[in-house]
Amino acid sequence: MASVHGALLDLKRLDQLAAGDTAVHRLDPRAKVLATLVFIVCVVSFGRYELSALIPFFIFPVCLIAAGRLPAGYLAAKVALVAPFAIAVGICNPLFDRTVLVHLGTLDITGGWLSFASIVVRTALTVAAALTLTALTGFTSICRALVRLGMPKAFAMQLLFLYRYLFVLAEEGGRASRARELRSFGRKGSGLASYASLLGHLLLRTWQRAERMHMAMLARGYTGTFPAAQVGRFGAREVAFVLFWSALFIILRLYNGAELLGTLVTGYLP
Amino acid sequence: MHMADALLSPTVGAAMWAVSAGGVALGSARLCRERDDRLAPLMGVLGGFLFAAQMINFSIPGTGSSGHLTGGLLLAILLGPSAAFLTVASVLMIQAFFFADGGLLALGCNIFNLGMIPALLVYPLCYRRLIGSAPGRRREVAVTMFSALLAMQLGALCVVLETAASGISALPLDKFLLLMQPIHLVIGLVEGAVTLAVVSFLRKARPELLTRGSAPGAVPGRVVLASFLVCAVLVAGGLSRFASENPDGLEWSVAKVAGATSLSEHRTGLGGFLAALQKKTARFPEYQAVPAAVPGSASASATTAPQASTVAGKGSAVAGIVGTVVTVLLVTGAAFVLRRSNRAAVAPEA
């Protein structure tokens, strides 16, 4: 996420995915938000050494990605790229936690490695769920869903404004940053002095833009809220969606699905 | 310093969500009362500005590394505390949804660490108090640097505390503190220098912009203190509940010290209920998972009967691995079937 332009392209691509028209895209956003929240809470509520019980949870992002016809490779790459903080902190676990928990033949696996693997799987699950939600729903719809679930209106306005002008400002910032890069030789010229005046100018232009926008909005009869384009309905499909996934997550939280399957398979082996 | 979902326990995440949601509600209510409708588009575009500014780096002389603006303090100076807080929170939300920076459960923590601390705590209680009405150059430098440092140190401290309270990472508290605080000393210095430079630039270019933050609408210190007290009680309540319910975190370390003699007695509340349910429903008790039985009992059996633990551990590990492979195959298969049926459903229409 180093360059502004790269981040912007990424953002646009994820945003465009939300324009799809499949059964999961058409679900009311509230249903998807609720199911994702239940999913994340169930995933993170496992103990720190849990690994195999986490694997069946991949069914949720995988099903949604497949049913929503999202590009799986792109989303997987995004999942792999993010959350360096979790990995960086998690990698310390094997160093500090050396209790041997699992014996696999002659191979001893310490609690540290187990919990590190658990952190990696958790990261993949929660990040994949969040990205899938965004790609299936779109940020505007998520905001509307959150308002109907109780988020204050003023904050929703802020989110919608930000989302509307994010692209414009990020492009402006990206252009300014590229211009500075082209004019500076290596590290010379990219110091604090030019950085501060770059940010300052960007800030001034931002401010002027806000003033122009405000006048334009007033001229068009702005009353303090955005009109909503469409009102979704929380119908039987939505209820079924939320109930099905929540029930599945709770069952998978209570029973270790992977291990039950494994005992079934190994139970028949001599 | 975004927190991540993977390092959080649900209790800590939910407690911080409650705190941040309270902050958002408070800030929104204050903004509605101010009735300045110029503020809405201004906050929106400044959020966009912050998003862009966080990705533009500058090189720090003599070190070979680079830094960038985080922006909580700068926005508070420009907009006043509640508007700045909402702006930072909205940027964090975009980052959580589109770049999965942090994550959805960790959003509460991140809004608190990066938004609430600089805008609602450090700015009104430290910056505004110390800066006075007409600061000299030297005073402005000192106060801005100190405030930025303080905000960063507090933010880093909260990251450490939240991680430790969640008990997912095995990093000891003191080592983690030693790792995080010095790094954020440097980051805080950078933040202070950038904030100062941008504010000085604006003072030269358009001094009237800098008057908004010090408008009489700023939150009085008492209100901020009271709300933070409420937050503290909320968090403390959440954390102590966590401590009594969840055997993984605190009791795990207690069990390690005490040799895990009375772990089963401690299992009350939700954790105990789940454990009991798991025990009742386990179809093959001899294959019960080592992870499900949690290290307390594993280390106990390791000290008393290493033979038994090896056998049980081996059996459950094999079952776990086989089950994992089978599950992965099933999930992949489901995906293929779904894709296929989707395509089949689309094909006749096309």
d(CA B285, CA B292): 11
- Cβ contacts of A224-228, under 8 Å, gap ≥ 24: A224/A157, A224/B37, A224/B40, A225/A153, A225/A157, A226/A157, A226/A160, A228/A144
Tell if the CB–CB gap between B98 and A139 is shorter than 8 Å: yes
Query: How many other C-beta atoms lie within 10 A of the C-beta of residue A8?
Result: 19
Q: Are A256 and B290 in contact (CB under 8 A)?
A: no
pLDDT tens profile B319-349: 667 777 777 777 777 777 776 666 666 554 4
Q: CB-based contact (8 Å) between B198 and chain A?
A: yes
Q: Are B185 and B153 in contact (CB under 8 A)?
A: yes
Label residue B268 by pLDDT band (50, 70, 90): very low
Query: How many other C-beta atoms lie within 10 A of the C-beta of residue A160?
Result: 20
What 3-state DSSP class applies to A1? coil
Closest CA to A129 of B103, B243, B2: B103
Q: Quote the percentage of chain A above a pLDDT of 90.
A: 7
Q: CB-based contact (8 Å) between A267 and chain B?
A: yes
Query: How many other C-beta atoms lie within 10 A of the C-beta of residue B211?
Result: 9
Query: How many other C-beta atoms lie within 10 A of the C-beta of residue B212?
Result: 18
- Boundaries of every domain in chain B: 5-245, 285-350
| Chain B hits for A199, Cβ within 8 Å | 53, 56, 69, 194, 198, 201
Residues 6+ away with beta carbon under 8 Å from B311: none
Mean predicted confidence (pLDDT) in A173-190: 82
d(CA B167, CA B271): 15
DSSP string, B274-290: HHHHHHHH-S-GGG--H
pLDDT tens profile B183-210: 888 888 888 988 998 888 888 888 877 7
pLDDT tens profile A124-179: 888 899 889 989 988 888 888 888 888 888 888 888 888 888 888 888 888 888 88
Q: Are A76 and B286 in contact (CB under 8 A)?
A: no
Q: CB-based contact (8 Å) between B308 and chain A?
A: no
Q: Are A153 and A225 in contact (CB under 8 A)?
A: yes
Q: Are B171 and A92 in contact (CB under 8 A)?
A: yes
Q: Which tokens belong to A23?
A: 């059964």
Residue type, A188: K
| Exposed / middle / buried, residue B337 (Cβ in 10 Å: 0-12, 13-18, 19+) | exposed
Tell if the CB–CB gap between B6 and A44 is shorter than 8 Å: yes
pLDDT tens profile B61-117: 666 666 778 888 999 998 888 899 999 999 998 888 888 777 788 889 999 999 999
Residues 6+ away with beta carbon under 8 Å from A218: none
Q: CB-based contact (8 Å) between A29 and chain B?
A: no
Residue B288 scores a pLDDT above 70: no
Q: CB-based contact (8 Å) between B47 and chain A?
A: yes
User: What CATH number labels B5-245?
Assistant: 1.10.1760.20
Q: Which tokens belong to B59?
A: 């090189």
Q: Which of residues 200-259 of A touch B (CB under 8 A)?
A: 200, 202-204, 206-207, 209-211, 213-214, 217, 222, 224, 254-259
What does the angle CA B159 – CA B13 – CA A49 come to, to the nearest 5 degrees? 85
**B63: nearest CA in chain A?**
A187
- Boundaries of every domain in chain A: 1-151+233-260, 161-221
d(CA A91, CA B170): 9
Here the ipTM equals 0.83
Q: CB-based contact (8 Å) between B148 and chain A?
A: no
Query: How many other C-beta atoms lie within 10 A of the C-beta of residue A270?
Result: 3
Q: Which of residues 245-304 of B touch A (CB under 8 A)?
A: 248, 274, 277-278, 281, 283-284, 287, 289-292, 294-295, 298-299, 302
**A192: nearest CA in chain B?**
B58
> φ, ψ for residue B145 (rounded to 5)?
-60, -45
What DSSP designation does B7 have? Answer: G
Q: Strands (DSSP E) along chain A, which ranges?
A: 100-104, 107-110
Residues 6+ away with beta carbon under 8 Å from B169: A89, A90, A92, A93, A115, A119, B7, B163, B176
What 3-state DSSP class applies to A43? helix
| Exposed / middle / buried, residue B340 (Cβ in 10 Å: 0-12, 13-18, 19+) | exposed
pLDDT tens profile A98-121: 777 777 777 777 888 888 888 888
**A228 or B146, greater pLDDT:** B146
Which of A171, A203, A255, A265 has the highest number of chain B CBs within 10 A, making it the mutation to test binding with B? A203
Residues 6+ away with beta carbon under 8 Å from B260: B296, B297, B299, B300
Tell if the CB–CB gap between A158 and B59 is shorter than 8 Å: no
